[in-house]
Amino acid sequence: MSTLGLLGGSLPLIGLSLIFSIALAVHVVRTGRELFWLWIILIFQPLGGLVYFIAIVLPELTRGSGARKLEQTARAALDPAREYREAKRACEDTPTVRNQSRLAEAAAQLGRFDEAEQLYAQAAQGIHAEDPALLLGRANALLELGRPQEALDVIELIPGGETSDPLAPGAVLALARAHESLGHTAQADAAFAEAVQRVAGFEAFGRHAAFMARNGRKDEARAAVADMDKRLTKLSGHFRKEGKRWRDLAAKALSEA
């Protein structure tokens, strides 16, 4: 067989290897991984790409968000500050966007919303300036800090916020909270109603019921709490505890209305 034939036969493999490496390089950048992975992937292709896929991508694919959430919840119950300490150490060693985001989330879980807001703001720069997760994290921190107008300004930066495309479910809920805090009752009601339909879990239900109670719609709020009570009977363990938290928030607002 001629040299040209051998080269021609290998071209498809070279092309696939290049596409594979480029896709993994994009994953490194978008997820805020340490930049040394880019060198490993691009210089030692395709072996470097395979190492990254096995070490980083494959565990993400095989472990769903639900499993990660349960693991984080269990760890938080045993040692609430553990994730924060580990995230802070990782961020100090390698201040990537991913590590900043992780530390911001851990800070928010401990109620350190000032720190969380600053970290999210620092992370949402350059190519990450429109990252929905970073912007939403910052908006939620601003809401907890009682700065709803700033939160609303940040939400409007989230892709879809100023177009006909729908906002992500979590962003819709943040939007509803911001509008309520600013006294935009009609906009808040519409956003809460949409969040109830799109956000998984009980938070949207509970916050909407509390909103209705605070705005003179006690009968609707009572009906919403009763509906949550029925739904809670079908849950168990962590999910029931989390759901009851939002049901109790609504019930408290109803009793104070």
Show which of 78, 103, 129 is a domain's final residue. Answer: 129
In this structure, are 7 and 57 located in the same domain?
A: yes
pLDDT at position 165, please?
A: 59
In this structure, are 57 and 71 located in the same domain?
A: no
d(CA 126, CA 6): 44
Q: Considering the domain boundaries, does residue 141 fall inside one?
A: no
In this structure, are 12 and 23 located in the same domain?
A: yes
In this structure, are 16 and 57 located in the same domain?
A: yes
pLDDT at position 4, please?
A: 42
In this structure, are 49 and 72 located in the same domain?
A: no
Q: Considering the domain boundaries, does residue 9 fall inside one?
A: yes
pLDDT tens string 62-118:
655 555 555 555 555 566 788 899 999 999 999 899 999 999 999 999 999 999 999
Q: Which residue segment(s) compose the domain that 53 sits in?
A: 3-62
Q: Considering the domain boundaries, does residue 134 fall inside one?
A: no
The predicted model gives 43-59 an average pLDDT of 81
- Return the amino acid letter for 141: A
In this structure, are 81 and 122 located in the same domain?
A: yes
Into how many domains does the chain fold?
A: 2
Q: Is the pTM of this model over 0.95?
A: no
Show which of 129, 159, 176 is a domain's final residue. Answer: 129
Q: Is the pLDDT of residue 49 over 90?
A: no
The DSSP symbol for 107 reads H
Q: Considering the domain boundaries, does residue 182 fall inside one?
A: no
In this structure, are 123 and 85 located in the same domain?
A: yes
pLDDT at position 2, please?
A: 41
The predicted model gives 148-163 an average pLDDT of 84
SS (H, E, C) the chain: CCHHHHHHHHHHHHHHHHHHHHHHHHHHHHCCCCCHHHHHHHHCCCHHHHHHHHHHHHHHHHCCHHHHHHHHHHHHHHCCCHHHHHHHHHHHHCCCHHHHHHHHHHHHHCCCHHHHHHHHHHHCCHHHCCCHHHHHHHHHHHHHCCCHHHHHHHHCCCCCCCCCCCCCHHHHHHHHHHHHHCCCHHHHHHHHHHHHHHCCCCHHHHHHHHHHHHCCCHHHHHHHHHHHHHHHCCCCHHHHHHHHHHHHHHHHHHHHC
In this structure, are 86 and 116 located in the same domain?
A: yes
Q: Is the pLDDT of residue 161 over 70?
A: no
Q: Considering the domain boundaries, does residue 69 fall inside one?
A: yes
d(CA 59, CA 41): 18
44: pLDDT confidence band, cut at 50, 70 and 90? Answer: confident
Q: Considering the domain boundaries, does residue 218 fall inside one?
A: no
Q: Considering the domain boundaries, does residue 184 fall inside one?
A: no
For a pLDDT cut of 90, what percent of the chain falls above it? Answer: 57
Show which of 44, 62, 80 is a domain's final residue. Answer: 62
In this structure, are 56 and 72 located in the same domain?
A: no
In this structure, are 35 and 85 located in the same domain?
A: no
In this structure, are 58 and 96 located in the same domain?
A: no
Q: Considering the domain boundaries, does residue 192 fall inside one?
A: no
pLDDT tens string 182-238:
999 999 999 999 999 999 889 999 999 999 999 999 999 999 999 999 999 988 877
In this structure, are 113 and 74 located in the same domain?
A: yes
